[in-house]
Structure 1
């Protein structure tokens, strides 16, 4: 096929515009055009009164080879790359050892699925519950303030991404088209076909729940095994080689190929692996607040008179500001038409996150507004970042009333450094609830200073961002893991523990659903190649 890129058409273009653009670009007749597939559709909203749709198209003609040769120097006309996923290995018939995957979020899910598809029959261990039981526990916390520390926003089937906006795009380099593999698997599991071509695909929590169940069923059908409520409390290491794990109930499982895809909040597991001597180091992350505006205000600011257009959907934004004090403040995990949710996994702590459904039709838009920090801000060794997070979350718990309500402040009051008497027109979405206070005490002074400088700067890019009634809710601390489990860039194994494959967000190698899922595929491939190499060597001996 032939790929045509950067085809720009008006937002209100007619049904024949795409075909007409193809015929004009390739200088062919309608009879020569066999088929058209939309590979990507994005938009350019820099001119609000003239928003353009931008297409990438894959077309089949009666003479592809001739046209590709004719337009060989044309940057917008190229051969369509191979988008099919090609497994790197297949499990040997005499396989004697099953690989283990710890964690069943996006990374562990794709690692387990790809291993199962290649015939390795993985054992997947998830400390939380299966997704529907986990959903009951999570909503129970939001409604009744009853926290299950093993089944919540952070822990359980589907990982933290289940209770999020469900974004399925990433900025990671992807020359092997792993992202296409992920999207195809999601569509096969029930995701809408549009995630294959819209520029910023998303799913939302309720659709993710059903998809995860179908993908779990496929793993089991292919011979894999998934265990829930199976927290790993110990790892067995002999002469620098991983040999197995011990579960919380005392059961021991043996394997020399183990992936650890535990997400960014498995603090007790981070502490355990550090004690075992597995090399980890502190790394940068970010802390801040959630900010809420009415979605209609964001739509108007971004799309002008085209606000509400069905193709454009609910508007998002991506903002960054470099402050005078040397800090960077940026928006993170923006959730159009969503809600701010309670995301703690530990008792007597308050953590915020954002979530939205596929429809993105809730009243408010929200995103994290966070400040970048690094290990110099929390000295004390590889685990110091965990303690830093815990201190902020415990303080937020107290500031919110010590009952899991979150501390909150209107933007106007925050900028004026005063405690608001009441909320304004932006109604808080956080459950269980909020307590109005002065958030100046919720973060280190350098963070407050930076955010106070950034919000007016963001207002120049998104009009109304500094609206007095917009609402800040604290605290956002789980932007990423505060540690990195270092791995070899070639083998993907821990740099000092053979057979252990650190993966995903918890290891410091991903930052969202898509990047975590892509990393899961890479880890599955690395494990498969390692298993086959050892199996070949064993047979020779």
Structure 2
């Protein structure tokens, strides 16, 4: 295959014009071109240039060697890299025949799904333990908090099939280094399970919550069809460790499950499981994370600021942004998990605490844009050991619960009032999307003073990049605390825990991913390491 990069066409071009542009670029006739596919498509929406799509194309021609020789000096025409996925192992007969312990995956979010899927595809018949419910039942429980102020601690935005990524924007892009193209494997499996074909090539792919529900169900069924097993409502409460090796897991209300290979795909909010791991002697350490608020603007304002005359073009869709500011007090303030045309959602997983997150549907056509505006903190801010970050989060979430009225409404404040240091009393032109509701107050009490100071400094700076960002009627909603795991379950180069053999910390909860794509990639890597270890024994 041959790859062409930087192939530019007007954004409203007809489908057949792409093939014609390829022939023109390579100076070929139709009979010379065997096939082609779009590897990547981005857009150029700079204000002073013509609106255009920019393509990367993989193609096959009758005489590839001659063509490559003809374009030896053209950096935009090169051989295509092999992006196909190759399994590293096949399950030993002892597992296939049921004469050996099957690997166990704890957690069925993006990391756990892909760890279990790849293990199943290699024949290892994994057992998945998920503390929450199947995704459709879980969705009903989540709506119970959003509509009725009723929290189910075991079935919510954080816990249940699909993990926290199900109730998000469904973003499928990441800044991780991926030389083996594991991300393509993740995308391929999503498409196979019903995700839109376009996520294979658009520059910033996303699926959206409602579509993710059906996709997750189909991936679960494939694991089952391949001999895997998904056990819902099975909460792991302890670990059987002997001679520094995992030999089993303890499940609330069920018999212990023997296991000598266990993947910890817990997600960043499995606080009780983190405590159990620490109690049982698994090595972990505190790590940095961030806290802050959600900010909401009219999506039309963001579109105009980011896309100028191209705002509202349906072929581009809703605009996003990424912002960062280094405050004078040494704190970094940045936008996190930006959700174009989305909503702010209640994401608590423990009673009497308030947590926010952002979510978008595939269409991204809600009135408001939202993003976390968060401040980086380090273990020096919460001394006390590996679990101290959890207590730091809990204290902030409990305070937010009280500031919001102690009924799961979230505390909120208009940006203008926040910058002036006074409590808000009524909404302006921006109506917040958070359900069950937003209680206006003074958010200065919701975060440590250094965080409030840094955000107050950053908002006017962000205004210089996005006109209207610090508009008085924009709404801040508290509190964002689950940007990433507050600890790392440290692992070695073999992907196993530093001090417990057979235990594989993975994904966002273990401190090795951030988002759906990177969590899925990490799940694949851990599955491969586990498979190779099984074969070596």
Query: Does TM, normalized by the shorter one, top 0.5?
Result: yes
Q: Does 1:199 align with 2:184?
A: no
What are the equivalent positions in structure 2 for 1:186-265 lying under 5 Å apart? 186-265=190-269
Correspondence for 2:51? 51
1:348 pairs with one of 346, 352, 359? 352
Q: Any idea what SS the aligned residue of 1:274 has?
A: helix
Correspondence for 1:63? 63
1:533 pairs with one of 516, 532, 536? 536
What are the equivalent positions in structure 2 for 1:513-528 lying under 5 Å apart? 513-528=516-531
Larger deviation: 6-15 or 311-320? Answer: 6-15
Q: Distance in 2 between matches of 1:295 and 1:56?
A: 29
Relative to 1, partners in 2 of residues 1:348 and 1:391: Cα closer, same or farther, differing over 3 Å?
same
Q: Distance in 2 between matches of 1:66 and 1:301?
A: 47
Shift in Å at residue 48 of structure 1? 5.9
Correspondence for 1:283? 287
Shift in Å at residue 522 of structure 1? 0.4
Identify unmatched segments of 5+ residues in structure 1: 535-541
Larger deviation: 470-479 or 450-459? Answer: 450-459
Shift in Å at residue 81 of structure 1? 1.6
Q: Any idea what SS the aligned residue of 1:35 has?
A: strand
Correspondence for 1:538? none
Q: Does 1:511 align with 2:524?
A: no
Correspondence for 1:6? 6
Correspondence for 2:365? 361
**Contact 1:49–1:304 (CA under 8 A) maintained in structure 2:** no
Q: Distance in 1 between matches of 2:463 and 2:18?
A: 36
**Contact 1:280–1:483 (CA under 8 A) maintained in structure 2:** yes
TM-score w.r.t. the length of structure 1 is 0.97
**Contact 1:284–1:482 (CA under 8 A) maintained in structure 2:** yes
Q: Distance in 1 between matches of 2:32 and 2:85?
A: 30
**Contact 2:45–2:310 (CA under 8 A) maintained in structure 1:** no
Q: Distance in 2 between matches of 1:51 and 1:526?
A: 45
Q: Any idea what SS the aligned residue of 1:302 has?
A: helix
Q: Any idea what SS the aligned residue of 2:42 has?
A: strand
Q: Distance in 2 between matches of 1:420 and 1:328?
A: 26
2:118 pairs with one of 92, 110, 114? 114
2:127 pairs with one of 112, 120, 123? 123
**Contact 2:47–2:309 (CA under 8 A) maintained in structure 1:** no
**Contact 2:170–2:212 (CA under 8 A) maintained in structure 1:** yes
2:271 pairs with one of 258, 267, 270? 267
Correspondence for 2:428? 424
Identify unmatched segments of 5+ residues in structure 2: none
Q: Does 1:86 align with 2:93?
A: no
Larger deviation: 59-68 or 186-195? Answer: 59-68
Shift in Å at residue 17 of structure 1? 4.3
Q: Does 1:180 align with 2:184?
A: yes
Q: Distance in 1 between matches of 2:15 and 2:113?
A: 39
Shift in Å at residue 189 of structure 1? 0.5
Q: Does 1:40 align with 2:40?
A: yes
**Contact 1:258–1:500 (CA under 8 A) maintained in structure 2:** yes
Shift in Å at residue 34 of structure 1? 2.6
**Contact 2:264–2:504 (CA under 8 A) maintained in structure 1:** yes
Shift in Å at residue 49 of structure 1? 5.6
- Deviation per CA, 1:463-482: give whole Å up to 9, x if none: 11111111000000000000
Q: Distance in 1 between matches of 2:468 and 2:10?
A: 27
Correspondence for 1:450? 454
Aligned residues: 533
Q: Distance in 2 between matches of 1:427 and 1:372?
A: 28
**Contact 1:132–1:209 (CA under 8 A) maintained in structure 2:** yes
Q: Distance in 1 between matches of 2:296 and 2:86?
A: 43
Shift in Å at residue 30 of structure 1? 3.5
Q: Distance in 2 between matches of 1:495 and 1:75?
A: 44
Q: Any idea what SS the aligned residue of 1:337 has?
A: coil
Q: Distance in 1 between matches of 2:18 and 2:213?
A: 35
- Deviation per CA, 1:309-346: give whole Å up to 9, x if none: 12211111111111111111111101111100000000
Q: Distance in 2 between matches of 1:11 and 1:306?
A: 11
Shift in Å at residue 16 of structure 1? 5.0
Q: Any idea what SS the aligned residue of 1:249 has?
A: coil
Q: Distance in 1 between matches of 2:157 and 2:375?
A: 23
Q: Does 1:500 align with 2:507?
A: no
Q: Distance in 2 between matches of 1:349 and 1:50?
A: 49
